[in-house]
Each structure stands twice: as C-alpha cells, then as structure tokens.
Structure 1
Amino acid sequence: MHSQISTLHLIKRFVPYFKKYKGVLFLDLFCAALTTVCELVFPLIVRYITDMGMNHLESLTVQIILTLGGFYLVLRLIDTAANYYMADVGHIMGAKIETDMRKDLFAHLQKLSYSYYDETKIGQLMARITSDLFDVTEFAHHCPEEFFIAFLKILVSFLILCNSSVLLTVIIFAILPLMLLAAMYFNKRMRRAFKKSRNQIGEINAQVEDSLLGVRVVKSFANEPIETEKFRSGNEKFLNIKREMYKYMAGFQSSTRLFDGIMYIAVVVAGSLFMIYGKITPGDLVAYLLYVTTLLTSIRRVVEFTEQFQRGMTGIERFIEVMDAPVEIRDEPDAEELKDVKGDIQFDHVSFRYSGVDEDVLTNINLHVAPGQNIALVGPSGGGKTTLCNLIPRFYEVTSGRILIDGQDIKKITLQSLRNQIGTVQQEVYLFSGTIYENIGYGKPGATQEEIIRAAKLAGAHEFIADLPDGYNTYVGERGVKLSGGQKQRVSIARVFLKNPPVLILDEATSALDNESEKLVQRSLEELAKGRTTFTIAHRLTTIRNADLILVLTEDGIVEKGTHQQLMALGGVYHSLYSMYGAFDG
C-alpha cells in the first residue's frame, strides 16, 4: 500500500487545475467576500442600535432605523446574487476540473505499458477514474471558498472586536488554536480511514467485475455460494472501515461542539464581568455574542466541509498515485516515423525479464527474419514465445540487446508508426461492446464501408455476417458473447486485414477453436499471411508444417531451428513435440 502523501503536496499538485478557470475562481471568491460582508455588518448595526437605545434613546429616530434596515436589505440582495453565482457557476467550475482530471487520468492510463496492467486490478482503476473523482467537484468548488470565508470572518471579527476590548478578544481567540489542534488530530485519522475506504471500494469493484465477467464459469461449477461469500467478506471489511471512519468523524464533530460551548461560556462570563467593571458597553457584549455566533457558524461550516475535504484529498491522492506511475515505454526525443516497411526483423542479443522477477524469460536471442518470411515459434509453455512476439511492437521493453526493423532500432521509431505496421491476432479475441461493423472498423479508423466488407470477405467472415439478422449492424454483446469462438476470431482477422500491416503476429490464434472453425480460420490466416513477415505461435503443430522456418523455444532459448522436414529428421525436441501433439491432431 502507498504511504500517505502530505496534504501540502496534494494541494500543490491540484492547484494547476484551477489555472484555466482563474477568472471564475476570483469572481467566486469575490462573491464569497460579498456574502461575508453581509454577515459581518449585521452585528455592527445591532451594536449601534443597542447602544443608542440604552444611552441616547431620544436620538434613535424612525429615519435612522429605516435607513439601517434599507441598507441591510440592499446587502441581503447583493448576498443573494453572490450566493447564486457561487452555487451555480462555482459548482460548474468544480465539475469542469473533475472532467479535466478524468481526461488526464485516462490519457495517462493509455500510455502505461503491459507491465503496469500485469500488476494492477482493473476494478481499482475503474474506482479511481469514476467514484474517486466525484468528490473532487465539491472539493474544487468549496475548498477555496470555505477557507477564504473563514479567514475573512476570523480576521475582520478579530479587528472589529479588538476595537471594543483587546483583552476579551484575546481570551476568546485563544480557544481557536486548541480547537485547531483537536481538528488536526482527528483529520489525520479520518484521511487514513477515507483512503482505506476508497481502496476497499476498488477491491469490491475488482471482485464484482471478476465474478460477473466469469459468471458462466461460476454457474458451470455451481459456485455461486463461494462468490457470495467472497463478496460478503469484502463487503464486511468495507463496513468495518466505515465504522473506523465514522468513529473519527464523531470525535471530530463532538470536540468542535465542546469548543463551541467553551467559547460561548467565555463570552458570556468574561463579557459580563467586563461590562460590570465598565470595560465594555452592553452593545459591545451583544456584538461579541453575535460575532462569536458568526465565527462558530463559519467554523461549523468548515467542520462540515472537513468530511468533503478529506474525501476530495483522498480522491486527489489516488489520482496522483496513478498519474505518477511511470510511462516505461515512450518515444525517444529523436524517434522517427517508420515508413515503407519491408518487414526485415532482427533480434540482436535480446534478453528480457519481467519487472520484479530475478530470472530472464529470454536470454541472448539472436534471430534474423527476412521480409515476407513465415516464422513459427513452438515449444513448451513458459518458454517465452508470446513474450518474444510482444517485444516487437514494444508492448514490453527489452532488458538488453536490440530489435531492428528494416535496419532501424525499434527504440528509435515512434510507437504509433511502429504499431501501425504490426497486426496481431490473439488466441483470446477481444471484441468491443458495439456492432460487428464498428469492431472491424477498429482496425482502420475512418475506413469506408467497401473496405470493411472487403476485409470481412478476405477473412471468410462476410458469409456468416450476412446471415445475421442485422448483418454488419449486429450488436455483438459485451466481449462479443453473442458470437461463437470461430466467428469472433474471423471478425478479429478481418480487423487485421483492414489494417493491412506488413508484419503479422499470430498468437495461438486457432488453439481454442473446434476442428471445423479451426479449418475456416486457418484458411483466413493463410490468406492474411501472404506477402507479410509472419510470426506464428503454434499449439497445434500440424498447422505450421509449411512455415519457412520453425524455431523451438524453451527456457534455454532457441534450441532448434529449421524447416519441418529438417527438424523431424533431427529427432530432437521438435520431433518429440510433434509426435506427441501430432497424435492428437490426427
């Protein structure tokens, strides 16, 4: 778990988001000042009328009373307009800042490498990008406003009250630091509890996502009670965190109420004694009581805002934790566009290990693939076949060595132009929620209808799509659940046909299919591979007999390479693998 970031650091990181809206912010704070003036003037009017009534009643005319009443009414109208602006435009400013932060967070997530997602739960990220930022709207609007109002009221009240009696004012204001110390004590613990609460919401999200996406597996094993128990346990943990949170919140609010009472007692007792000894007038005492009420109302608002403040701080903290996740794979300053790709690929002493792991997955790999060559990678699971292919588009960064495309180091090529030249068909097809047309079109944004239909025909998908009730406009459901495995795979192949890349990676693209679907998909893949430099990771070895070069990859690296006939004649690892799997493949 991350250590708690200091409040000052969080505010420093958050303040730049106000830059775009500084005009709105300054006007909002000006309106806050106007509403404060209205509250601070009222005790002065009451003190004036009280003192006049007790000492110079004959001088208190109807005209003076009506003038003061009219003046206060004008102030109230200004206060109403200012308050409306704060509630409307101020809140919209907060919502815009939340929107900006969410945009930045999503953009940053798009830049993070596979390594980050290997170690992070999607449910946690969902919580950070949605619910964690909801409270930022209120925080962004109210935080400057509430603290500015409290500062103004405390400062102006202090100056006005000092004018009546410095000693009584100091007695009253001496209680504020004690109130502040108690607030800081409970605040720190509330913040910690809020963060735990946010983290647990993320865990619940992750568990729910896991359970619902795997609902077919859950039901097939009749394991609903296990999932319910897992959820109950997480939910119960969330309740316990909430208990802790509310305990500190109750302590915070109760201590503030106690200091409220102490301050009122101080004014009444000390003020009355000062009045007896002629140090202040009855009007001053009334003004003191009204100013203390104003002060305490303001402090109470800050207290009520404190919960919102801590929620906002926690949301900002969790936002910063993701924003500070390093972008491990980025364009070099001198990176160039990759153009006119022939497909010549070279691995030059390439080694790779996953972060946090001591052993290399790939060690000192040397390999040269000529343009248009079809390379097959075979070997036991864990040998690094998929990892080797993932290094070509820089989904992971090589630990040492380099990879060249057409003689250019891929680190010196812009990521977008590199990945635009490489097409991948994976075993686990991901279709986005939407129509078949949209899913194929994902391969080339802005493609025409003719291009999409042509790609589907090349992938052998047009026929089954045409038979669907809505054709290309058929909704595929989340993750393509409404299509069979073979249909999904052909849609994904159509997507790559549309992209038309010179380099192709086929990662066990048919291993999850039945025999009939496999034959159809295999035909599409053979069509797709024509004229392209192709890397095929094969589980069923019968599908790669015609490869130009077969590499046998184990934990010891590339242990054998050659054509199917050469490797069978060698009688080594490939021969035993083929004999084993060939029997199953018939």
Structure 2
Amino acid sequence: MHPDRESTWTAPADAEEQPRQVRRILKLFRPYRGRLAIVGLLVGAASLVTVATPFLLKEILDVAIPQGRTGLLSLLALGMILGAVLTSVFGVLQTLISTTVGQRVMHDLRTAVYGRLQRMSLAFFTRTRTGEVQSRIANDIGGMQATVTSTATSLISNLTSVVATIAAMVVLDWRLTVVSLLLLPVFVWISRRVGRERRKITTRRQKQMAAMAATVTESLSVSGILLGRTMGRSDSLTRAFSDESEGLVDLEVKSNMAGRWRMAVITIVMAAMPAVIYWTAGIALQLGGPDVSLGTIVAFVSLQQGLFRPAVSLLSTGVQIQASLALFQRIFEYLDLPVDITERDDAVHLDHIKGEVRFENVEFRYDGKAGAILDGIDITVPAGSSLAVVGPTGAGKSTLGHLVPRLYDVTGGRVTLDGVDVRDLDFDTVARAVGVVSQETYLFHASVAENLRFAKPDATDAELEAAARAAQIHDHIAALPDGYDTVVGERGHRFSGGEKQRLAIARTILRDPPVLVLDEATSALDTRTEAAVQDAVDALSANRTTITIAHRLSTVRGADQIVVLDSGRLAEQGRHEELLERNGRYAALLRRDARLEPTK
C-alpha cells in the first residue's frame, strides 16, 4: 500500500559534516545577533550577581556576626536578597528574548524547507513519500525546539556561570579548587560519549517517526480508507501501524535512557563534593596546614554547590546538542537538495502572451538514465490552435505535456513559448501562460469558493459564478445547501468524478491562461459524464492554444493537428482525415478503441 519510496539524497559522513553543521547552525542565529548580545549581557550580569552572593556570606560569617556589626550585617543580608531579585529578573528577561529568537529561527527553518520543496521538480515528489516530507517539517523541526529556544542560551548561561564560579573559587582558595575539579575532565569525556550514542539513536528515532507519519498520511486519507476497507486490510494495517509504534517506543526509551547511569554517577560524585571539601579542610587543619576560616569554607562550599547545577546542566546540554545534530542533519539534507527547476537571474518577463508553443528536437530522460522518455520531438502549435497527443501507454504523452508548464525541464532541445525558451522565462510568466487540467483533480479541504479562488485570490463572486457556468457546474453548486460555501471534503470526495473535473475546469477558466494542457482530463469518466465534461472543456479551450493528452481518440478528432507518439518518438502527425487515409498507427489506435467501446 505504501512502497518504501524516499529521496535518493544521502548525507555525507558524520565525522566530516559535524564542524560544518555547527557553523551552519550558528549562521541561523546571525540575523538575531543584536538580541543575542542582550541575552549575553543578561547572562553575564546574572552570573556576577550569583558569584557575589557567597562573598557576602563570607563577610557575614567572618566579620559581621563575630564583630557584632549589626549595620554591616543588615547591609550584607539586604545585598543577598537584592541579588536573588536581580537574578530572577535577569532570568525572566533572558528567557523571553531567547525563546523569541529560537522561535524565529524555527520559523526561518520551516519557511526555508517549505520554500525549497516548492521549488523541487515533480520527479522528487514521485519518489518521496508524502509522510516523509511532512515529518521533516513537523517532527524534525519541532524536535529542535528545545535546542534553538533554550539550549543555546542555557549553554551560554551555564558556561558563563561555570567560568565565573571557578574564578571565584580560585580567589577564595586555589587548593580546594584543585580538589573540586580533579574529576572534571573525566566527566566531560563521559558526556561526549553519551552524546554520540544519543545522536545515533535520535537519527533512527526520526526515521521511524517519518515512517509512521507516512503510514498515517497514506492509510488514513479518504483514498487509503477506501482501499483498506474494500481490500479487507483494515486489521492488518492496524497491526502494521502497531508494530511501527512499538519500534518507536523502544527507540524513545533507548534515547531517554542512553547514558543515564553514567550521568547519574557524575551527579552523585558532584553532590558528594561538599563532604569532600569539609573533610579536606578538616584534615588540613589537623595536620597543621594553612589556616582556612569558617567563612571561607562555607563560601567555598556555596560556590562549589553553585557550580554543581550549571556544570551538570552544561554536560547534559552537550549531550542534547549532540542528539539534536541528527535533527539538523535531516533538515540540512532537504535544504541541500539540488533544485533542477530554477529561474535565471536574467529571466524574461512577457506581459502579453500570444500562445505559440514549439517543441524543437526535444529529448527527455529521468535523472540522466539511459532510456529516453522522449527523443527528437519536433512540433509547432500555432497560437489559438489545438494539438492532440495520442499513443499507447508509456509512449511519453504526459511527459510531453509536463514540459510546457516546466513541471520537468528538457534534457535536450528546447520548448518555446512565443519563441522564447520556457527555461528563459520567469516563473510568473510560465504560471500565467499555461493552465493544466489533469485526470487526477486535486481539491483542498475547503469551500467551493476557496478552491476556485486558489486560481485567482481576488476573484469576485460574479467571476466565480461566470467561471462555474462556463464549466457547466454552477447549477449543481447552487443546489447545494451552502452553495459556494459548501466544504468539498478531503480531495473533493463529496463530489463525483465529473463534478470534480468541472470544478477544476472552472478554476482554470478563472485563471484564464492563453495555453491549456489537458492531460487525459476525461479518460476516467463514463460516457455520459464525459460528454458533459467535454462540453466544459470545449468552452475552456475556445480561443486558446490547447494541447490535449488523449486516451480516448473520440475526443480529439476535431483537433487542428494530431501527433502519435510511440516509445518516445514521433510516429505520425497530421489531421484526423489525413491519418486515417495513411492507415498507420493512428488508424490502428482507432480500431483498438472501437473494439474496446462498450456496446449499447
């Protein structure tokens, strides 16, 4: 039901990519460096206030209380209270600014990925599962929220606190500082190993989440439900989803438990350090070592305990950053996808488009593969005329039609519009010039009016009605309970195939393109519905350059010229009567249609 189709893009090796990834991550924050500078100042101020508090405590224990200096005691106590107030205020402001910056960075990433995917050719989406794309935008970028909103600030804050605290500890007593920091290199080494382990698990977890998203998107869509129910596969699909969810459970547990025991040992050791400091100071005094005042010991332990929280947090942040690199890597993979449909810097803009289309020695191959889908196609379609493209399945008919609106680009030769290579035109000109109505009509889960206005957002109600009348769908819309405000349902499943096609035709009429590509727009319809839709197509085709990709040859007999494709080559070309007289491939296709036509 959902073949394992994913992008063929592969990420470079982690060892080579990590430094470059870090630089790219830092570059994301560059537009907000002014706000980040303010965060840095707040972090520095909060760290200085925090470090100053133990010194105030030392003065209270060594001077104010022993000497009975009440005024000094009150001033020092007030200073400690003020320090707590300032630290809290700085923390709130820091959180507000850093969260805002983080959310802006996530917005920039989401927009960049979405914009990149909008520029990808149709070929990318034919080989990539929809759920995979959605997972990159939703799960991967969503999973980075903690990193970009709080982790970066936490890293700066904790690093500043650790540096300031260690400096203060050295000022108080360098010997006790050495004892306190003996195991720090070991802790750093442990945290780096845990980080690498979590990064690998995170990569596997995100792939599993993408697989689940793809399953949900495909199997719980209207089409997926219809297929699952009619094939009796609902229970097996549920079991398959359960297996995928079970795999995600295991990965989530592994991700959260990776290195927990090692980090717990670090926590225990650092929590026991005050006892080590008291023991060291006591033994030193008994052995006649340097005299250390009680205030110094208490202040040092206060600093050491103050060091405990940011140090452990710093190590944990390092682990989290290592894991989040896997998420950034997946996002950067999409941002680095090569875009093969591009707009040139000196692109041509046409204000007035006549609509002449030419295929000049056109060749097309998928991803540079050996077999040519189209080879040596030369066709001229004068402005306002009609071209019908027929041939057996796999002859390259739809691919030929897709070259005009640049859903694909030719790999040889060129396609021109009014004498200009479509690759030299800007995107706006191509979008205004070429309208496409395909066999598979896509409607949004929105009202009829909103679906029509997708072609022309500023269209008036009168323009909507005129387009619907031309497409012979107005009477049906008007008979609906909510008229043009009726919600069509996901992919338009509340409408029949013929009704959806006529809505698509009305949408194209509203856009009013001078060139029209009809890609087997009526082939999936019954004969009666096809006749009604064909009338709408005829109204749409009037006074336009029309290229019709036809499966049923009965719809193309009146075309100004007909071309027959066979294995990507131009087999025959001419009008209906001329091709019949030749009794070649076109005549054979007509006889095939006659045999397949149901008897009345």
Same fold (TM over 0.5): yes
Task: Return closer, same or farther for 1:50/1:7 CA change in 2, 3 Å cut-off.
Answer: farther
Equivalent in the alignment of 1:228: 238
Instruction: Determine which of 543, 548, 551 is the counterpart of 2:555.
Output: 543
Which segment drifts farther, 361-370 or 100-109? 100-109
Equivalent in the alignment of 1:398: 410
3-state SS of the aligned residue for 2:342? coil
1:45-84 Cα shifts (integer Å, max 9, x gaps):
333334448xxx6524222221110111111121121122
Equivalent in the alignment of 1:386: 398
Q: Which runs of 5+ in 2 are unaligned?
A: 1-9
Whole-Å separation in 2 of the counterparts to 1:577 and 1:255: 78
Instruction: Determine which of 220, 241, 252 is the counterpart of 1:212.
Output: 220
Equivalent in the alignment of 2:23: 12
Whole-Å separation in 2 of the counterparts to 1:542 and 1:219: 35
8 A contact 1:542–1:585 mirrored in 2: no
Task: Return closer, same or farther for 1:579/1:275 CA change in 2, 3 Å cut-off.
Answer: farther
Which segment drifts farther, 431-440 or 490-499? 431-440
Equivalent in the alignment of 2:480: 468
8 A contact 1:353–1:359 mirrored in 2: yes
Which segment drifts farther, 463-472 or 204-213? 463-472
Look up the equivalent residue of 2:311 and give its one-letter code. I
Whole-Å separation in 2 of the counterparts to 1:481 and 1:240: 38
8 A contact 1:135–1:311 mirrored in 2: no
3-state SS of the aligned residue for 1:350? strand
Instruction: Determine which of 234, 239, 248 is the counterpart of 1:238.
Output: 248
| 1:458-497 superposed matches below 5 A | 458-497=470-509
Whole-Å separation in 2 of the counterparts to 1:183 and 1:572: 75
Whole-Å separation in 2 of the counterparts to 1:4 and 1:229: 35
1:325-371 Cα shifts (integer Å, max 9, x gaps):
12211111221112322222211221111116332211122222222
Equivalent in the alignment of 1:71: 79
Look up the equivalent residue of 1:284 and give its one-letter code. T
8 A contact 1:434–1:475 mirrored in 2: yes
Instruction: Determine which of 545, 552, 569 is the counterpart of 1:533.
Output: 545
Equivalent in the alignment of 1:154: 162
Whole-Å separation in 2 of the counterparts to 1:120 and 1:30: 46
Equivalent in the alignment of 2:266: 256
Whole-Å separation in 1 of the counterparts to 2:426 and 2:210: 34
Whole-Å separation in 1 of the counterparts to 2:175 and 2:355: 86
Could you tell me how far 1:487 is from its partner in structure 2? Answer: 0.6
Task: Return closer, same or farther for 1:386/1:41 CA change in 2, 3 Å cut-off.
Answer: same
Look up the equivalent residue of 2:527 and give its one-letter code. N
Whole-Å separation in 2 of the counterparts to 1:236 and 1:255: 30
8 A contact 1:43–1:291 mirrored in 2: yes
Q: What's the RMSD between the two structures over aligned residues? A: 2.3
8 A contact 2:198–2:323 mirrored in 1: no
Task: Return closer, same or farther for 1:536/1:270 CA change in 2, 3 Å cut-off.
Answer: same
3-state SS of the aligned residue for 1:559? strand
Whole-Å separation in 2 of the counterparts to 1:36 and 1:381: 72
3-state SS of the aligned residue for 1:332? coil
Task: Return closer, same or farther for 1:526/1:463 CA change in 2, 3 Å cut-off.
Answer: same
1:373-426 Cα shifts (integer Å, max 9, x gaps):
211111121111111111111111111111111111111111221121001100
8 A contact 1:540–1:585 mirrored in 2: no
1:537-565 Cα shifts (integer Å, max 9, x gaps):
11111111222222111215111222222
Look up the equivalent residue of 1:25 and give its one-letter code. L
Task: Return closer, same or farther for 1:478/1:310 CA change in 2, 3 Å cut-off.
Answer: farther
| 1:131-150 superposed matches below 5 A | 131-150=139-158
3-state SS of the aligned residue for 1:561? strand
Whole-Å separation in 2 of the counterparts to 1:423 and 1:194: 44
Could you tell me how far 1:279 is from its partner in structure 2? Answer: 2.6
Whole-Å separation in 2 of the counterparts to 1:546 and 1:157: 87
Could you tell me how far 1:521 is from its partner in structure 2? Answer: 0.2
Whole-Å separation in 2 of the counterparts to 1:455 and 1:150: 63
Whole-Å separation in 2 of the counterparts to 1:297 and 1:330: 51
Instruction: Determine which of 367, 374, 386 is the counterpart of 1:355.
Output: 367
Could you tell me how far 1:129 is from its partner in structure 2? Answer: 1.7
Mapped pair 1:48 → 2:56: no
Task: Return closer, same or farther for 1:254/1:76 CA change in 2, 3 Å cut-off.
Answer: closer
Mapped pair 1:185 → 2:197: no
Whole-Å separation in 2 of the counterparts to 1:280 and 1:131: 58
3-state SS of the aligned residue for 1:35? helix
Look up the equivalent residue of 2:521 and give its one-letter code. A
8 A contact 1:567–1:575 mirrored in 2: yes
8 A contact 1:165–1:279 mirrored in 2: no
8 A contact 1:372–1:532 mirrored in 2: yes
3-state SS of the aligned residue for 2:367? coil
Whole-Å separation in 2 of the counterparts to 1:571 and 1:421: 36
8 A contact 2:561–2:573 mirrored in 1: yes
Mapped pair 1:107 → 2:118: no
Task: Return closer, same or farther for 1:554/1:265 CA change in 2, 3 Å cut-off.
Answer: farther
Look up the equivalent residue of 1:533 and give its one-letter code. T
The alignment of Structure 1 onto Structure 2 pairs a total of residues equal to: 583
Whole-Å separation in 2 of the counterparts to 1:192 and 1:459: 55
Whole-Å separation in 1 of the counterparts to 2:248 and 2:68: 63
3-state SS of the aligned residue for 1:346? strand
Which segment drifts farther, 35-44 or 246-255? 246-255
8 A contact 1:443–1:496 mirrored in 2: yes
1:21-43 Cα shifts (integer Å, max 9, x gaps):
33332222322223323331232
8 A contact 1:194–1:310 mirrored in 2: no
1:478-519 Cα shifts (integer Å, max 9, x gaps):
111111111110000011111111111100101111222111
Mapped pair 1:518 → 2:525: no
Could you tell me how far 1:226 is from its partner in structure 2? Answer: 2.0
Equivalent in the alignment of 2:11: 2
Whole-Å separation in 2 of the counterparts to 1:292 and 1:39: 12
Whole-Å separation in 1 of the counterparts to 2:573 and 2:504: 30
Which segment drifts farther, 466-475 or 150-159? 150-159
Could you tell me how far 1:302 is from its partner in structure 2? Answer: 2.8
Look up the equivalent residue of 1:12 and give its one-letter code. R
3-state SS of the aligned residue for 2:594? helix
Equivalent in the alignment of 2:47: 36
Look up the equivalent residue of 2:34 and give its one-letter code. G
Equivalent in the alignment of 2:356: 344
Equivalent in the alignment of 2:569: 557
3-state SS of the aligned residue for 2:29? helix
Look up the equivalent residue of 1:227 and give its one-letter code. L
